[in-house]
Amino acid sequence: MNEYIYQNTNWPKFNWDSERLTSLLATVRNKQGRLMGRMESLGFDLKSEAILSTLTLDIIKSNEIEGAILNPQQVRSSLARRLGMEIGGLVPSDRNIDGVVEMMLDATQKYKDPLTGDRLFGWHTCMFPSGRSGMYKITAGNWRTDIMQVVSGGMGHEKLHFEAPAADTLEKEMKLFFDWFNSEMSFDPVIKAAIAHFWFVTIHPFEDGNGRIGRAILDMQLARADESHQRFYSMSAQIQKERNSYYDILELSQKGDLNITKWLEWFLQCLDRALNATDEILATVLTKAKFWELHAHSGFNTRQNLMLRKMLDGFDGKTTTVKWAKIAKCSHDSALRDIQDLLDKEVLIKEDAGGRSTSYFLKI
């Protein structure tokens, strides 16, 4: 008996029980349509802010799934610059972050373009600009040349979860994948997104970064399903919340036969929850808009503007005078004056604590 799905003689002819998916798929498609309608009714600035927030979240969470922690301010700033958006509080971003941002924008903004080996090599090089993954040198911008195993556990207690197809089959495997992905299908494009992600991570063609590139392919196909480069929901953020079950269902499905109904079912349920979660993103966007509208004539100085934007974006930890001085690059006295001015204007509220550890939060 074949251990892995790709060893099946009919690979990659997937099949599934359409009847089991009908209701789930209809719910998801309805929510996608309603969400796009709601977003179209927003003004240009609010819609742009929603897109920026969604893409920032998507990039951060897709990397977090693999244990890579990115600086949210750098991701947001890099995205804003590349999208030509005028926002306050931009910070410099390093080339690793610029690379993952470039990959995501290529996938979602140019979703109509065909997917090719060269395009994926470009994405991979963007993700690993130094040719290294952490301390280890890797082959960047080309298929792997060795066996690929997904293993967990400490030394001497390793557990093999999956072994990908042999390196010498990758050209053939990826050609089949590209031909399928770039062709019109008779089934729903959301189902195609689920299959594309599953198929790509099963092949695991790169030495590292397969999960993140697989989710970029997923986002690209979801953009095709929405017929829009504007992203208002994040599948990666939801997958990150459900990370354990995501890996479990992938492993289970890669060891079964070619019937992938369970994977498609899990995917649609996860997407349904991702669409529900957009209410949080939209609520945050509207809160920010309301805040700036309310304080349009409050006369904030440059440091106050910087810190208020950071607080609205929800940076880590509490806002204290010490933190204010450090981030705004000013003296402790200047930080104290800035904060006192905002307390007088009823923009900030002081928490019930004393001394240098006193913290402040926004009145919104």
Helices (H), the chain: 18-40, 44-65, 72-83, 95-109, 117-127, 170-181, 189-203, 210-226, 235-241, 243-254, 261-276, 278-294, 302-312, 321-327, 332-344
Handedness of CA 265, 109, 179, 116 (dihedral sign): negative
Confidence at residue 42, expressed as pLDDT on a 0 to 100 scale:
80
Handedness of CA 192, 195, 201, 202 (dihedral sign): negative
Confidence at residue 355, expressed as pLDDT on a 0 to 100 scale:
61
Confidence at residue 354, expressed as pLDDT on a 0 to 100 scale:
61
* Token pair 């998916």: residue: 21
Confidence at residue 237, expressed as pLDDT on a 0 to 100 scale:
95
What are the CA-CA distances from residue 364 to residues 87, 207, 284, 296 (Å)? 20, 47, 11, 14
Contacts of 115 (CB under 8 A, 6+ apart): 178, 181, 182, 217, 220
Confidence at residue 364, expressed as pLDDT on a 0 to 100 scale:
76
Confidence at residue 276, expressed as pLDDT on a 0 to 100 scale:
93
Instruction: Kindly list the structural domains of the chain, giving each domain's residue range(s) and its CATH number in brackets, ordered by start.
Output: 5-282 (1.10.3290.10), 297-362 (1.10.10.10)
Confidence at residue 286, expressed as pLDDT on a 0 to 100 scale:
79
Confidence at residue 248, expressed as pLDDT on a 0 to 100 scale:
95
Confidence at residue 38, expressed as pLDDT on a 0 to 100 scale:
86
Q: How far is CA 314 from the centre of its chain?
A: 18
Confidence at residue 59, expressed as pLDDT on a 0 to 100 scale:
97
Confidence at residue 155, expressed as pLDDT on a 0 to 100 scale:
75
Handedness of CA 32, 37, 39, 44 (dihedral sign): positive
Confidence at residue 158, expressed as pLDDT on a 0 to 100 scale:
80
**Consecutive sets of 10 residues in the chain, 364 residues long: mean pLDDT of each?**
88 97 97 90 84 94 93 93 84 93 97 98 96 90 93 79 94 98 95 98 96 97 95 95 95 94 98 92 80 86 89 79 91 93 91 73 84
